[in-house]
Chains A and B, each alone.
Chain A
Amino acid sequence: MSGAGTDTPSPAQGQRGSSGYQQGRTGPQRGGSSLVGDGTNRLLFAALLREEWRLHTQLFGGGRFLSFPLLIAVLAAGATVALVETGTAASTVVLGLHVLALGFGLYSGTAGFAGSSMLENVFGGLSLVLGTAATLPLSRRRLLGIFLVKDALFYAVVFVLPMATAAIPLEGVSATTPVDVATLWLSLSLVFAAGMTVTVALIALRTRGVPTWTLLALVAVVALVSGVLGSASATLAAAQTLVVPQSASLPAGAGLAGATALVAAASLAVYDPTYGKPTRTAADQFARLRRLGDTVPGATGVNDPLVVKTLLDLSRSAGGVWKPFVSAGILLALVAALVGVVHEITGIEPAPGIFFGGVLGLSAFTTYNWLTQFDALESYLAYPVTIADVFRAKRTAFVLVGAPAVAVPYLAAVLWFEAALIDALVGALLLAGFGLYYYGLTVYIAGFDPNEFLFDSVRFGLFTVGAAVALVPALVAGFVVVPPTLDIALALAGIGIGFGAIGAVLSSRAGPKWDAEYRHE
Chain B
Amino acid sequence: MGVLRVDELRKSYGDVRAVDGMSLDVERGELFGFLGPNGAGKTTTIRSLTGQIVPDEGTIDVLGTDPTTAPIETRTRVGILPEQATPPSFLTPREYLEFVGDVRDLDKETVADGIDRWAERLGFGSKLETLHTDLSRGQQQKVMIAQAFIHEPELVLIDEPLANLDPLVQEQVKQFLTSYAAADNAVFVSTHNIDVAADICTRVGIVADGKIVAERSIADETSDDLLETFLNHVDDANARDLPSLERDAIQT
Contact = CB atoms under 8 A, between A and B. Distances in A.
Contacts of A315: 90
Interface in A337-396: 374-376, 378-379, 381-386
Given A376-B87, A384-B72, A312 B95 contact: yes
Contact of A281 (B84, B130, B148): B130
A54 interface: no
A275 B20 CA distance: 48
A280 B87 contact: no
A53 interface: no
B53 A308 contact: no
A217 interface: no
Contacts of A120: 88, 133
A285 B100 CA distance: 15
A374 to B, nearest CB: 6
Contacts of B125: none
Contacts of B92: 281-282, 284
Query: How many interface residues does chain A have, given as a range?
Result: 35 or more
A241 B7 CA distance: 70
A381 B131 contact: no
A309 interface: yes
Contact of B98 (A283, A286, A313, A382): A286
A386 B74 CA distance: 12
A519 interface: yes
Contact of A283 (B53, B129, B134): B129
B179 interface: no
A317 interface: yes
Contacts of A405: none
Given A381-B50, A381-B52, A286 B91 contact: yes
Interface in B37-82: 47, 50-54, 71-73, 75-76, 80-82
B102 interface: yes
Contact of B104 (A375, A379, A383): A383
Interface in A272-308: 277, 279-287, 290, 305-306, 308
Given A374-B88, A376-B87, A520 B103 contact: no
Contact of B87 (A286, A290, A379): A379
A375 B87 CA distance: 6
B94 A284 contact: yes
Contact of B72 (A281, A386, A521): A386
A235 interface: no
B86 interface: yes
B90 A281 contact: no
Given A306-B103, A381-B52, A385-B103, A279 B134 contact: yes
Interface-centre pick from B73, B75, B89, B104 (highest chain A CB count, 10 A): B89
Nearest to A125: B85
Interface in B101-133: 102-104, 129-131, 133
A121 interface: yes
B20 to A, nearest CB: 17
B118 to A, nearest CB: 16
B53 A305 contact: no
A281 B129 contact: yes
Given A280-B131, A379-B87, A383-B75, A286 B104 contact: no
A282 B129 contact: yes
B99 interface: yes
Contacts of A306: 103
B53 A282 contact: no
Given A286-B98, A286-B99, A384 B104 contact: yes
Contact of B90 (A283, A313, A383): A313
Nearest to B48: A519
A284 B130 CA distance: 10
Contacts of A375: 87, 89
A518 interface: yes
A380 to B, nearest CB: 9
A284 B72 contact: no
B100 A519 contact: no
Contacts of B82: 378-379, 381-382
Nearest to B102: A305
Contacts of A379: 82, 84, 86-87
Contacts of B50: 381-382
A383 B103 contact: yes
Contact of B131 (A124, A281, A305, A519): A281
A285 B94 CA distance: 10
Contacts of A283: 129
Contacts of A285: 95
Nearest to B92: A282
16 contacts: A277-B134, A280-B131, A284-B95, A284-B98, A284-B129, A286-B99, A290-B98, A309-B91, A312-B91, A381-B47, A382-B75, A382-B147, A383-B103, A384-B76, A384-B104, A385-B75
Interface of A: 117, 120-121, 124, 277, 279-287, 290, 305-306, 308-309, 312-313, 315-317, 374-376, 378-379, 381-386, 518-521
Closest 4 CB pairs of A and B: A316-B90, A286-B95, A305-B102, A384-B76
